[in-house]
Structure 1
Amino acid sequence: MNEQKLYESLVQGHPGWCSLLSQSLWTVRGKDRIRYLNGQLAADISSLPIGSSVHTAALNRKGRIDCDLWIANQGETIFVDGPKEIEEQIANRLSRFLVADQVSIEKIDGQFFLYHYFGPHPPKGFTLCFQNKRFGIEGWDIWSDTSLVDFGCPEVPPTVQESLRLENMIPQWDKEITEQTIPLEVFLTKQSISFTKGCYVGQEIISRIHHLGQINQLLTLFIALENSNPQPGQLYYESRAVGRLTSCGYSFGYNKTIALGFIHREHRKEQNRVESNGCFFKILKAPPPIG
C-alpha cells in the first residue's frame, strides 16, 4: 500500500500502527499519585477516565512549559511518556516537589515498549491500551512488556505520521513546544488545561492570561501557495515580521506542503497571505483560545 492510500485508509478508520521510540517511559504509583500529579500538571488527572490518556504539560512558576507529557490512567498506575531528549528534565520535574507524598516515580525504558495503534477499536490481546488522538485521529497507545514487530496491519511511516500531526495541529517538543512556550498558545482543548481544578505549579499565571485574554500568538496551520520546500523561519506579512514557522511537511490530505507556526493575533485571519524564506502561505486555521 502506498503512502497516499495508507493515509486515506487511516482517515477512514482502518487500522495501522507505529512505534514511539522517541519517547521516554515512566510510571507513577502510590496512594497520593492523583493528588500529586494534579499539583504538577495543567490537566485535571482526577477526571481522566481509566483507559484514556491526555497530552498536557508540567509548568514552571512563570507559567511556561518545563516538559510536555502524555498521561495514561490505568487505575493503580499512571503511565507517563515524554520526549527522550528531555528525559533528565522530566525526571527532575516529576520528582522536584515530592516531600512526604506517598508516590513512587520510576523510569521504565527497556521494561516497556510504547506503540500507537490507529483506529476506533483497540487491538485484541493487550491489557494496557489507552485511547487518545495522539496524531489527531482515533487511536490507542499500547504499552507492552515485549518488543513487537507486527500488529497484523500496515506500519505507518514517519511521513504519514507527520502529515496527520501537522494537519491536526499537534504540537511537538523542540518545534512548537519549547521552554519559552505558554501552554495556552499550543494546547487548544479543555482536557489539556484545567481552569476548574485546584492549584498547580504555574496555575496563577495561566489563569490570569486566560481570563484577561492576553494571548498574543496561537498555533496556526498554513498551506503553501506554490510547489516549494520551505523550512522553519521568520514569517512576514507585507514585509513586517509577524511570527514564525516551526514545522513544515507534505500533507496527504491537502496534497500540498503545509506548515505549523505562530502568528501575532492581529494577523491571525484565515486566508491571509504570509511569506517565509521566499515561500508564500495562506492561513488555513487560526483557532481561538480555549474557553
Structure 2
Amino acid sequence: MRWIRLKRGKIKVYGKQGKLLPKGMVEEHTAFLHNLLSNDIRGMKENTLTYNLWLRQNGFPIGEFYVYKLADHYLLDTPLDVSHVIEEFNRLKLSMRVYFEALDMEHIFLFGEGVREFIREHFGVELGDFEVKSLDNMLLTRNPIRLREEGYEIIGQVSELSLDTKDMLSEEEYEDIRIQRLIPKLGKELREGFSPLEACILKEAISLTKGCYVGQEAIARVYYRGRPARALALLEGEGLKEGEKIRTENKDIGIITSVSPRSSLALGYLLRAKAEEQKDFETSEGKRVRVLKLCEEGKE
C-alpha cells in the first residue's frame, strides 16, 4: 500500500439551517453549486462525491473541486487558495442564502495492494459500494478518480493512524504517477487556452444533461463539433521543459505542459492528426520528443 498527505484546501458550503422548503424546491446552497460547477450537484445523493470544474464563460478552467455531499452541507476539496475562493463565491452568490467556511482538515490518500485490508482493519467497515462514510472526527471516502485506480481518502483528524512512513509517497513520486497516467492538473493541463475536453475528462468532470452552468455553452460547442483537434499526450524525451513548443515542418503543433521530476516522461497538448501520422518530433529547443499515448475519452 502507498499513501500521500495531500495539501489541499477544504470549504464547507451550507444553507440556512432548519429552513423547510416547499416540495420540489432546491436548497439555495445546492442551487448555487449546481449553477456554478460542471457536474450534476443537484442529482447527488447523500454521502457521495463528484469531481467538478469551475469554468469561465469560454469553457476554460478556473478551478477544480471534489465535492462531497454530506447530511446538511457540502465539503469542497480544492488546490486553490481557500480565502480567494470564498471571496469569489461570496461575490457570485448575490442574494442567495448560501454560506462558506474554511476548514482546517488533514487529508491522506491511500491506494495500491493491501489498501482494502488496511481500511477493514482500522475502520471495521464493509467496503462494498460506499463512497463517503462519516466516522468520529473524520470522513472515509472511496475515490477511484484521483489516480484512476481504487483509492481511499481519510479526511479530518488522521494523526493517530498507524501509517508506515516507508510507504509514504513524496510529492515528486506522486507527480510522476500522475503524468504516467495522463491525469490533467490544474494550472498545468487545466488552464486558460485549453478546453477540458481536450484532456479527455468529460466522463469524470462534466455533465451534458444537467442544464445551464457557467461555461456550459462553450463546452457544448466543442463537444458537438466532434472529437477535439488537440489531445493530451504522454510524451518521452530528455531534458524537456514546460512551455517548450512541439514542432514539425517548422510549424508549432503542440506544447509541453508537465515534466516528470523523476523520469523522462512529460505531458503536453498535440494536434491529434499529426500525432496519429507520426510519433517523433522536435521541440522548439531542438530536443527529440516521442509520443507514447494520446488520451481517449473514458481511457487513461
Could you list the runs of 5+ residues in structure 2 that have no partner in the other structure?
16-26, 124-134
Measured in 1, the distance between the counterparts of 2:48 and 2:153 equals: 9
Alpha-carbon shift at residue 135 of structure 1 (Å): 2.4
Which residue matches 2:275?
A: 268
Alpha-carbon shift at residue 243 of structure 1 (Å): 0.8
Confirm whether residue 191 of structure 1 aligns to residue 191 of structure 2: no
Could you list the runs of 5+ residues in structure 1 that have no partner in the other structure?
1-14
Q: Which amino acid letter does the alignment assign opposite residue 230 of structure 1?
A: L
> TM-score scaled to structure 2, two decimals?
0.77
Which residue matches 1:205?
A: 218
Instruction: Give the match's secondary structure for 2:176.
Output: helix
- Match runs of 1:65-144 below 5 Å: 65-84=61-80, 86-108=81-103, 111-119=104-112, 121=116, 123=119, 124-125=122-123, 127-132=138-143, 133-144=145-156
Query: Of 236, 241, 248, which residue of structure 1 is paired with 2:259?
Result: 248
Instruction: Give the match's secondary structure for 2:58.
Output: coil
Q: 1:220 to 1:60 in 2, by over 3 A?
A: same
Confirm whether residue 234 of structure 1 aligns to residue 245 of structure 2: yes
Alpha-carbon shift at residue 152 of structure 1 (Å): 4.2
Alpha-carbon shift at residue 145 of structure 1 (Å): 3.6
Which residue matches 2:14?
A: 29
Which residue matches 1:171?
A: 184
Q: Which amino acid letter does the alignment assign opposite residue 17 of structure 1?
A: W
Q: 1:290 to 1:35 in 2, by over 3 A?
A: farther
> TM-score scaled to structure 1, two decimals?
0.80
Instruction: Give the match's secondary structure for 1:176.
Output: coil
Q: Which amino acid letter does the alignment assign opposite residue 146 of structure 2?
A: R
Q: 1:172 to 1:196 in 2, by over 3 A?
A: same
Measured in 1, the distance between the counterparts of 2:277 and 2:291 equals: 5
RMSD, aligned CA: 2.7
Answer with 203-212 or 262-271: which moved more: 262-271
Answer with 87-96 or 235-244: which moved more: 87-96
Q: 1:149 to 1:74 in 2, by over 3 A?
A: same
Alpha-carbon contact 1:55-1:192 (below 8 Å) kept: yes
Measured in 2, the distance between the counterparts of 1:67 and 1:186 equals: 15
Measured in 1, the distance between the counterparts of 2:158 and 2:73 equals: 19
Count of equivalent residues: 266
Alpha-carbon contact 1:44-1:191 (below 8 Å) kept: no
Which residue matches 1:278?
A: 286
Percent identity (aligned): 24
Measured in 2, the distance between the counterparts of 1:188 and 1:144 equals: 28
Instruction: Give the match's secondary structure for 2:204.
Output: coil
Which residue matches 2:21?
A: none
Alpha-carbon contact 1:51-1:129 (below 8 Å) kept: no
